[in-house]
Structure 1
Amino acid sequence: MNINKILWPTDGSKESGESLRLALYLARIYGSEIICLHVSQIQIPVTDLYPSYETVIMDIVKDTEARFGEEFNRIETENPGVRFSTEVVRGSVVDWIIEKAKADEAGLIVMGKKGHGLIGSALLGSNTLKVLRNSPVPVLSVKTEDEKTEYDIKKILVPLDISDTADSSLTYALGLAGKLGASVTVVYVFWIDANVYELSPDLVDELSGHSAKELRLRVDAVKDRYYRDNKGAPEAGIETRVLTGVSPALTVTDYADENGFDLIAITTHGRRGLERIILGSETEKIIREARCPVLALKP
C-alpha cells in the first residue's frame, strides 16, 4: 500500500477544508507529501450583449487563483512537519484531478464529497462521483458533517459481497488498520426484498446463518493471504457480521452511525440478486450518505 503522496483537490469549500484535516492526519502517519491542487474551470457566457463579461470573469478568476496561492502558502507555513507541493491551474476539474494523480504518482486522493460554485471550479457531487469512477488510485471522500478537531481512525467498516471475488477494500483496510492501530469489521447485508417477505423468520435466520459462515470463510482466506504476502505487517483485529435490511446502503450507513465507525472502505462496484450486496448505485449511496469518511477502491 503506497501513500507516499496524497492529492488534495480544493475549491475553498468547508468540505475541502475538512478533507485537508484528514489528509494532514494521514500524511503525518505515513510521512506523505500533500499535493495541493486548485482548478479554475472557467465558464464565460457566449453573448454579444455583454462583451465585458469575459473581462470581468477573467479578473475574478485571476483574483481567485492568487487567493489560492496565498492559501497554499499559509497551509504550508502552519504545518512545518508535512511536505507540500502546490499547483493552481485552469481547465476541467475532473480531468485535472485524474491526470495529476497519474503524473505525480499519488497513492491516494482526499477530497470533499461536494463543494460550492466558485467560478465553475467547485468539487460538486457530480464531479466527485466522476473522480470516484475514473480515479487510478483510491479516493477518500469527506463531508462537513464529519467535522472534528482531530482525526483518529480506530474503527474501520468494510461492506463485502460474498458472491463477488473483489477483495481490494478488505485488503486495503487490513493494511490501513495495521498502520493506524485500528480494528476492522466486515459486514455482509442480507438484502430482504419483496420476495423474501414471504419467507418465514426461521428460514431468513437459516439463510443469514449460512451467509455468516460464508462471510467468515471468505474473510479468513483474505486475511491469511494478506499476512502471508506481507510478513511482519501489524495484525489488525477483525470481526464479521451479517446485517439484514431492505436497503443495502441505508443498512450500512445506519450501522456505521450507530456503532461509531471512523471510516468505511468499499469497492466501487457490485452485483444484483437476492444474496448480493453493494450494487454500483448502492455504493454511490453509501459514499453520499455516510457521515464518516468513505474510502472507495476499484476491484
Structure 2
Amino acid sequence: MSRVIDSMLLPTDGSEDALTGAKHGIALASLTGADVHVLSVEEGAAATNAVETDADLPALEAHAEAAVETVAEMAREFDETIEVTTAVRSGTPFQTIREYAHRRGVDAIAMGTKGRRGLEEVLLGSVTENVLRTARTPVLAVPPEADAAIGDVTFERFLLPTDGSEGAAIAIEWGIALAARLEASVHALYSVDTVPFLGEQAPGELPDVLEERGQAAIEGVRERAGDAGIDSSGSTAAGSPVEVIPDAASDRDVDLIVMGTHGRTGVGQWFLGSVTENVVRQTDVPVLCVPVSAAPP
C-alpha cells in the first residue's frame, strides 16, 4: 500500500488551538498526498441554549465561513497540489464532525487540544474529547505546545506503545504503514503498571512473566517494521503507561505517538481509552489515536 491517509478532516472554530491542529493536518496531508476537508460546525442558539436570536445567525455563519477559509487558504498556500474541500454545518460539533468523517470516508481527523488551566488541570476541550471518544476513524490530537509553522512540522520518529492487545495491534499497523510512507523510524514501547502484581522486584523492573510478554510484543512490532523496511528499536518499562509513554516520547524526541484507544490494564481488564486520553493530556507531542473500529489499512 502506498499510503495510509488519502484524506484529512480539519475541523476549525477559528481558535488558536484549532489552527495548531490544522497546521499538523496540512503538513501530514502534504507528505502523504492526501486531500483536505475543512469543516466548521455552527451550533447556534438551539444547540447552545444561549441567548442568541435568529438575527445573530448571519454573524455566526460569517464567522464559521471565515474560519474555514483561513484554514483552506493555509493549505493552498503551503501546497498548491492539495485538493481542498470546505464545508459549514449546523449541529452539535463532535457529532457533526464524526458524521462528516464517516459519510465522506475521511481517513483521519486532525484537531488541536487545549492547554493547562491553573497548575494541574489539563483541558482537552469538550469537542476534541468527545471526538476522541466516539470517532470511528483515527484522530491526530495536537497539543498547543506542538504549535509550529507548517513547514517546520516533521514526522520522522514515531513512538508505538503496545500492551499486546488487539487495540494496540491495530494502532501499530497504522503506525508502521504511515512510517513506511514517510520513511520514519519507530520505537516500540511496552509498559505495565506493576502495582496489581504481587512479588518482589527492584523498582522500575518488570516481573519475569511480564518482561517476557513485553519482549515478545516488542519483537513482534520490530519484525513487522523490518518487513516494511523501517528502522526500529524497542524497550520495556515498569510503571503507569500514562507516565511512561510521555516520558519516553520526550526522552526520545519523537514527532508522533501512535496508540490505540482500547487496550488492557492489569490482568484481562479492558479500558476504554483512559490511558490514551490521559497520554494526550500529559504529552506535548501529537498523538494519533486509533480506535478499534479502524481496520488495519
Fold shared by both chains (TM-score > 0.5): yes
Overall identity of the aligned pairs, in %:
26
Q: List runs of 5+ in structure 1 lacking aligned partners.
A: 116-122, 228-233
Deviation per residue, 1:161-190 (Å, 9 max, x gap): 125575111111111111111111111113
Deviation per residue, 1:17-76 (Å, 9 max, x gap): 1112112212222221110100111135869xx8xx415533531331342354256335
Q: Does 1:248 align with 2:241?
A: yes
Deviation at 1:271, TM superposition (A): 2.0
The equivalent residue for 2:81 is 81
Taking structure 1 as reference, are residues 61 and 279 closer, same or farther at Cα in structure 2, changes over 3 Å only? Answer: closer
SS of the residue 2:45 aligns to: coil
Deviation at 1:8, TM superposition (A): 0.5
SS of the residue 1:157 aligns to: strand
How many residue pairs get aligned? The number is 278
The equivalent residue for 2:95 is 95
Whole-angstrom distance in 1 between the partners of 2:263 and 2:56 = 43
CA contact under 8 A between 1:264 and 1:295: conserved in structure 2? yes
Q: Does 1:284 align with 2:256?
A: no
SS of the residue 1:43 aligns to: helix
SS of the residue 1:254 aligns to: helix
Taking structure 1 as reference, are residues 204 and 136 closer, same or farther at Cα in structure 2, changes over 3 Å only? Answer: closer
What do you get for the CA RMSD once the two structures are aligned?
Answer: 3.0
Deviation at 1:151, TM superposition (A): 1.0
- The letter of the residue matching 2:27 is Y
TM-score, normalised to structure 1, is 0.81
SS of the residue 1:167 aligns to: helix
- The letter of the residue matching 1:192 is T
CA contact under 8 A between 1:114 and 1:124: conserved in structure 2? yes
Whole-angstrom distance in 2 between the partners of 1:201 and 1:31 = 48
Whole-angstrom distance in 2 between the partners of 1:15 and 1:203 = 36
TM-score, normalised to structure 2, is 0.82
SS of the residue 1:105 aligns to: coil
Larger Rg: 1
The equivalent residue for 1:61 is 60
The equivalent residue for 1:182 is 184
- The letter of the residue matching 1:211 is R
Deviation at 1:274, TM superposition (A): 5.2
Whole-angstrom distance in 2 between the partners of 1:171 and 1:33 = 22
Q: Does 1:108 align with 2:108?
A: yes
Deviation at 1:242, TM superposition (A): 0.3
Whole-angstrom distance in 2 between the partners of 1:31 and 1:175 = 14
Taking structure 1 as reference, are residues 248 and 277 closer, same or farther at Cα in structure 2, changes over 3 Å only? Answer: farther
The equivalent residue for 2:35 is 33
